Amino acid sequence: MKISVVGCGQCGGKVADAFNQLNNEALFYRRLEVITDVIAVNTDVADLDSLTSIKKDAGHRILIGSRKTGSHGVGKINEVGAELALRDGDKVIDAIRSSKHFHEADAFLFIAGVAGGTGSGSMPVIADIVKKRFKNKPIYALVVLPFEHEEKTDARTVYNSATCLKATDSVADAVFLVDNQRFIEKDSSLVNNMAAINRMIAAPFYDVLRAGEEKKSKHIGVRLLDAGDIIQTLGGWTVLGYGKSPLQRISLPFDWRRGYRKTSAETNRGLHAMDEAISNLSLQCSPEDSTSALYLLSAPAKEMSMNLVKELGEYMSEIAPKAIIRYGDYPSGGSELKITVVLSRLNRVSKVKDYYESMPDIVRDHQTRQRENDSRLKELVNASAVVPSLFGGNGD
């Protein structure tokens, strides 16, 4: 499946940059591409300059609202991000239209961090403009949720997250939820390594897209996961997980047919990788709440038997009993068995619900603070009434 990627704001741009790097690598090593173009949109010129692999021209790094922000960002006010996107959205449409391979894209992927100002405000607005202009391509969004410490220290973080999530859900055909906090819970060394996190976000997604685009027969699976499967699976709130198991080679001379021992070792490897994928979901949620799911098994061809595929299918339907399950196998090289799981059409996502439910308190607190602030300022102005003015005075 081929996609056109648009990253908004710093986070969106950086994750889009990671997608672009993966695409360059796939082109170099495998002569295949799944991304037709990658565009970054920002109000902050320094953020655009810090990207490493996205093409440098004004059609790939698009600055919006520079007159209003002086090219320095919107400082977390996502309403301003939305307003500027509405005004300058045509720049993105022009860039998409002039992209050479755009007609090959099966869908759009919009990316943003929900907690900032530019990406959070502009991404849903740009996605909406693009949706109206290119009606026949599905719109997917990948949204990055903030770290816990960001939520705790600043109410604006939660405000931006809730408003962005609501707007994105109303525009996108599917919303991939990625929780930054999950990455540092698994590996604290990632705290200061955003580039590594971004690659971990993009890589499994890229694998799922790539499996159906392979051209060499040795990389084409028995059950190819193509654009149709992915589009049919995706809808509404969606999470993605990734797991792997090392392959221990059994190279006994008489191992010419699949004996019981090998089969069970192979199955255990598969189930282990699937367990890891489920416990590594991009946002904590219950697989039972998914009504549409897919998994991609990738390993060297000789490590993937029909029995393994069958066992994984049965296991997946135990984990997500209400879901229609699609799958694919992807014969790839390497010394690992990898499984990527997508759980879609989730009907319960407590993290999103928590954001929404905390809004009344946030708005009330904000209004109270605003009133307090206004009344204190008024007291100061009143007190200043007895102080002579330096402007337009009579000079005596």
Ligand X SMILES: Nc1nc2c(ncn2[C@@H]2O[C@H](COP(=O)(O)OP(=O)(O)OP(=O)(O)O)[C@@H](O)[C@H]2O)c(=O)[nH]1
**Using CB under 6 A as the criterion, which residues of the chain lie in contact with ligand X when the complex forms?**
9-11, 14-15, 43-44, 47, 73-76, 113, 115-120, 144, 146-147, 150, 180, 194, 197-198
44 near Mg ion (CB under 5 A): yes
Q: Which is nearer to ligand X, 68 or 133 (CB)?
A: 68
Q: Which is nearer to ligand X, 142 or 208 (CB)?
A: 142
What is the spatial order of strands in the sheet that 336-346 belongs to? 61-63, 35-42, 3-8, 107-113, 139-145, 174-179, 236-246, 336-346, 290-299, 324-331
The DSSP output letter for 321 is T
Nearest approach, Cβ of residue 74 and Mg ion (Å): 8
Q: Look up tokens 């002569």; give the residue.
A: 31
Nearest approach, Cβ of residue 192 and ligand X (Å): 11
Q: Which is nearer to Mg ion, 70 or 333 (CB)?
A: 70
Q: Which is nearer to ligand X, 23 or 120 (CB)?
A: 120
For Mg ion, which residue of 4, 10, 168, 180 counts as binding (CB under 5 A)? Answer: 10
Q: Which is nearer to ligand X, 99 or 180 (CB)?
A: 180
**Which among Mg ion, ligand X, none contacts residue 197 (Cβ within 5 to 8 A by kind)?**
ligand X
The DSSP output letter for 384 is G
Site string for Mg ion, 336-355 (x = CB under 5 A): --------------------
**Which among Mg ion, ligand X, none contacts residue 89 (Cβ within 5 to 8 A by kind)?**
none
Contacts with Mg ion by CB under 5 A: the residue count is 4
Nearest approach, Cβ of residue 63 and ligand X (Å): 12
Q: Which is nearer to ligand X, 63 or 74 (CB)?
A: 74
Residue 321: CB atoms within 10 A of its CB come to 11
Handedness of CA 78, 206, 18, 190 (dihedral sign): positive
CA distance 325 to 318: 11
- For the CA atoms of 343, 180, 205, 312, what is the dihedral angle to 10 degrees? -40
**C-alpha Rg value of the chain to the nearest Å:** 25
Cα atoms found within 13 Å of the Cα of residue 22, Cβ hemisphere only: 26
Nearest approach, Cβ of residue 147 and Mg ion (Å): 16
Question: Which residues, listed in sequence order, are joined to residue 292 by a DSSP beta bridge?
Answer: 324, 344
Q: Which is nearer to ligand X, 203 or 224 (CB)?
A: 203
For Mg ion, which residue of 65, 73, 81, 124 counts as binding (CB under 5 A)? Answer: 73
**Which among ligand X, Mg ion, none contacts residue 144 (Cβ within 5 to 8 A by kind)?**
ligand X
Nearest approach, Cβ of residue 9 and ligand X (Å): 2
Q: Look up tokens 């990658």; give the residue.
A: 38
The first and second tokens of residue 356, run together, are: 């929404």
Question: Which residues, listed in sequence order, are joined to residue 294 by a DSSP beta bridge?
Answer: 326, 342
Nearest approach, Cβ of residue 18 and ligand X (Å): 8
**Which among ligand X, Mg ion, none contacts residue 113 (Cβ within 5 to 8 A by kind)?**
ligand X
Nearest approach, Cβ of residue 371 and ligand X (Å): 26
Query: Crossing angle, helix 260-279 and helix 306-319, to 10 degrees?
Result: 40
Q: Which is nearer to ligand X, 78 or 245 (CB)?
A: 78
Amino acid present at 100: K
Nearest approach, Cβ of residue 9 and Mg ion (Å): 5
157 near Mg ion (CB under 5 A): no
Cβ(126)–Cβ(5) under 8 Å?
no
Contact range with Mg ion by CB under 5 A, out of 39-47, 277-285, 288-296, 359-367: 39-47
Q: Which is nearer to ligand X, 80 or 278 (CB)?
A: 80
Nearest approach, Cβ of residue 39 and ligand X (Å): 15
81 near Mg ion (CB under 5 A): no
Q: Which is nearer to Mg ion, 44 or 151 (CB)?
A: 44
The DSSP output letter for 258 is -
**Which among Mg ion, ligand X, none contacts residue 235 (Cβ within 5 to 8 A by kind)?**
none
267-272 long-range Cβ contacts below 8 angstroms, 24+ apart? 267/307, 267/308, 267/311, 269/245, 269/303, 269/337, 270/245, 270/297, 270/308, 270/311, 270/312, 270/337, 270/339, 271/311, 271/312, 271/315, 272/243, 272/245
Amino acid present at 156: R
Binding residues for Mg ion (CB under 5 A): 10, 44, 47, 73
